[in-house]
Amino acid sequence: MRPEHPPEYPLAVHDLTVAYHRKPVLWDLDLNVPEGKLAGIVGPNGAGKSTLLKACLDLIPKTSGEVLIYGKPYEEQRDLIAYVPQRESVDWDFPVSALDVVTMGTYRKLGWFKRVGRQQKQQAHEALEQVGIGHLADRQISQLSGGQQQRVFLARALVQDAEIYFMDEPFAAVDAATEQAIIELLQNLNARGKTVLCVHHDLATVSRYFDHLILLNMRIVASGPTPETFTRENLQKTYGGKLNLLDDVAEALKNVGR
Amino acid sequence: MTWTTTDFHITTVGVLCAMACALPGTFLLLRRMSMMGDAISHAVLPGLAVAFLISGARTSWWMFFGAAVAGVMTALFTQWISKFGKVDRGASMGIVFTTLFAVGLILIEQGAGNVDLDARCVLYGALELVPLNMVTVFENYEMPRAAIVIGSTLLFNLAVIGFFYKEFTIASFDSGLAETQGFHPRLMHYILMTMVAVTTVAAFEAVGSIIVIAMLIVPPATAFLLTRRLPILILLSLIIAAGSAILGHLTTKAIPVIFGLPETTSSGMMATMTGIIFLLVWLLGPQGLIRRNGTELEEPEEI
């Protein structure tokens, strides 16, 4: 047990370093995410945002460091976690329907070899209704629009009925209606005491969407409640000399009246 | 043209072979690693040769074991070389399977050159010779030994896919989700590779290491033009595989008669048939070239 990472934190990262081909992508990260937060992970392209999620979930090897889920190694806490990968990470030509994909979220509880039954399908149907595309359950997934595909992924995370949700850019390239539906869903999860970690790109919506913010650029630049963390100084540190982006930052800050 | 018991036996072996191949082939196709079938079907050769040299018999559990080991090694080496050698996956696969195949050929020529495992047969198989090696089952019913070998492989493949259906699906569609749910996609990958290796060995005698690639890939690829439902995809692959094998042998018999040409090989014709069926479906099927002209695919609606 590490005193600086008490077990009441849903996610604690200790001294995490990740490297691809000997080049560090994440360098010596230390992080505590408090329970029941809707946390945004924000930083420039190549800052290691997706890598951070994947390293926490053992999807890529850690060079060093440790990740604790409620004080225990991830391996023992799989049941508490739902993961929504980037939409482009899967093959949308795969011969399955929207309902089939959502049903995959029940596989963990179902266990090895057991077949999908009526109960799992029922759960999947309810989740699809919840994200507003119940009528598309039998559609082959390539017949869905980008926003609908993202909703399918969210429905799948919902049936996992987890405590911590890891989401990799759920708002990327979706229509405005879907973006609104997704944020309502995340806020709903949040209201039920779940912790949500969400890689996010759009600085303009950060302070509206998230109550907790992690600014990342290979290292943690700042992490904490959004009002204190989302400042010009921190953003400058995060985005460095990328001037065109700094204009966006200025715009974003103006929008929130800071 | 007369249909003899020999024809029945050749066709049976061909059908079982094609169906056994179509099962792992479907998942190779879905995982976008069809060429892994090519690589493994060649790379099992040294495994076979070594197993043969150790055991001295041409059919034995040793040969399946040797092939399975060689198949998994191909997958492992391919991954290592592309990772540590920093070459792309295709190149690394090319390095691994050609080297292993060459080693296998040398082993066969040197060690087993005078026995009935010859290099030509390795490439094309000898489906016509299948009825020469018969065994008696159920007291007095004679069957080609190859039919029993490949038939058991078909049952084995059916059992594995039936057993791991949900696990194969999730690991093929979204390996990240499979991993976080504890379904070890890498393990599923190696189970599939083992299945491909065992199947190619079972099919070896009948159709050789090149024709088997057609049987692994073409029927699933054809079925994929017709459906986007996984269970139907698997079923259609099996039907197309069996159909190609039957048509293949029929045309082998018919063509020399009709055109006055010399005998042709059944396995070659079976593979050709898979290709022709693919072409027809591609041209005439629901997503086919002909229908697609004119009616554009409907755009997915926004909500």
Which residue has better confidence, B97 or B290?
B97
How far off is chain A from B220, nearest CA to CA, in Å? 12
- pLDDT beyond 50 at A196: yes
How far off is chain A from B182, nearest CA to CA, in Å? 7
Nearest to B180 among A83, A101, A148 (CB): A83
Which pLDDT belongs to residue B296?
Answer: 46
Report chain A residues whose CB lies below 8 A from the CB of B229: 95, 97, 140
With respect to residue B302, please indicate whether it lies within any of the assigned structural domains: no
Exposed / middle / buried, residue B196 (Cβ in 10 Å: 0-12, 13-18, 19+): buried
Name the helix (H) or strand (E) containing A2.
none
- pLDDT beyond 90 at B53: no
- Taking only the tens place, the pLDDT of each residue in B9-34 is 888 889 999 999 999 999 999 998 88
SS3 for A237?
helix
Range picked from A227-236, B3-12, B236-245 for highest mean pLDDT = B236-245
% chain B with pLDDT above 70: 86
- What would you measure as the largest C-alpha separation in chain A, in angstroms? 55
- pLDDT beyond 60 at A53: yes
Which pLDDT belongs to residue A243?
Answer: 46
| pLDDT-wise least confident of A90-99, B211-220, B254-263 | B254-263
Interface predicted TM-score (ipTM): 0.84
Nearest to B230 among A82, A95, A114 (CB): A95
Report chain A residues whose CB lies below 8 A from the CB of B32: 91
Nearest CA-CA partner of A199 in A219, A180, A172: A172
- CA-based nearest residue in chain B for residue A88: B174
Which residue has better confidence, B137 or A54?
A54
Interface test with B, best of A11, A79, A100, A156 (most B CBs within 10 A): A100
Nearest CA-CA partner of B224 in B36, B28, B19: B28
- Taking only the tens place, the pLDDT of each residue in B167-212 is 999 999 998 888 888 888 889 998 999 899 889 888 877 788 788 8
Which pLDDT belongs to residue B1?
Answer: 64
With respect to residue B58, please indicate whether it lies within any of the assigned structural domains: yes
With respect to residue B202, please indicate whether it lies within any of the assigned structural domains: yes
- pLDDT beyond 70 at B261: no
- pLDDT beyond 80 at A137: yes
Partner-chain contact B176 A81, CB within 8 Å:
no
Q: CATH number for the domain including B48?
A: 1.10.3470.10
Nearest to B179 among A59, A105, A175 (CB): A59
- CA-based nearest residue in chain A for residue B297: A143
Q: What is the 3-state secondary structure (H, E, C) of chain B?
A: CCCCHHHHHHHHHHHHHHHHHHHHHHHHHHCCCHHHHHHHHHHHHHHHHHHHHHHCCCCCHHHHHHHHHHHHHHHHHHHHHHHHCCCCHHHHHHHHHHHHHHHHHHHHHHHCCCCCCCHHHHHHCCHHHHHHCEEEECCCEEEEHHHHHHHHHHHHHHHHHHHCHHHHHHHHHCHHHHHHCCCCHHHHHHHHHHHHHHHHHHHHHHHHHHHHHHHHHHHHHHHHCCCCCHHHHHHHHHHHHHHHHHHHHHHHHHHHHHHCCCCCCHHHHHHHHHHHHHHHHHHHCCCCHHHHCCCCCCCCCCC
- pLDDT beyond 60 at B75: yes
Question: Domain residues for B102?
Answer: 5-212
- Taking only the tens place, the pLDDT of each residue in A153-192 is 999 999 988 889 999 988 888 888 888 888 988 888 889 8
Range picked from A4-18, A233-247, B96-110, B224-238 for highest mean pLDDT = B224-238
Give me chain A's average pLDDT, please: 85
| Residue located via tokens 């898979």 | B274
pLDDT band, very low/low/confident/very high, at B303 (cuts 50, 70, 90): very low
Which pLDDT belongs to residue A249?
Answer: 64
Chain B contact for A100, CB < 8 A? yes
Report chain B residues whose CB lies below 8 A from the CB of A113: 163-164, 167
Exposed / middle / buried, residue B260 (Cβ in 10 Å: 0-12, 13-18, 19+): exposed
Nearest to B300 among A89, A144, A177 (CB): A144
With respect to residue B295, please indicate whether it lies within any of the assigned structural domains: no
Give me chain B's average pLDDT, please: 83
- pLDDT beyond 80 at B298: no
With respect to residue B269, please indicate whether it lies within any of the assigned structural domains: no
Which pLDDT belongs to residue A1?
Answer: 55
- pLDDT beyond 70 at A78: yes
Report chain B residues whose CB lies below 8 A from the CB of A95: 30, 224, 227-230, 233
- CA-based nearest residue in chain A for residue B170: A104
Which pLDDT belongs to residue B76?
Answer: 87
Tokens standing for B301? Answer: 């609606």
CATH hierarchy code of domain A11-89+163-255? 3.40.50.300
Which residue has better confidence, B20 or B63?
B20
With respect to residue B289, please indicate whether it lies within any of the assigned structural domains: no
With respect to residue B262, please indicate whether it lies within any of the assigned structural domains: no
What is the spatial distance between Cα A212 and Cα A223, in angstroms, rounded to a whole number? 8
What is the pLDDT averaged over residues A214-236?
85
Tokens standing for A29? Answer: 């990260």
- pLDDT beyond 60 at B127: yes
Q: What is the 3-state secondary structure (H, E, C) of B124-149?
A: HCCHHHHHHCEEEECCCEEEEHHHHH
Q: Cβ contacts of residue B172 below 8 Å, gap of 6+? A: A94, B27, B30, B31, B188
- pLDDT beyond 50 at B254: yes
- In chain B, how many domains are there? 1
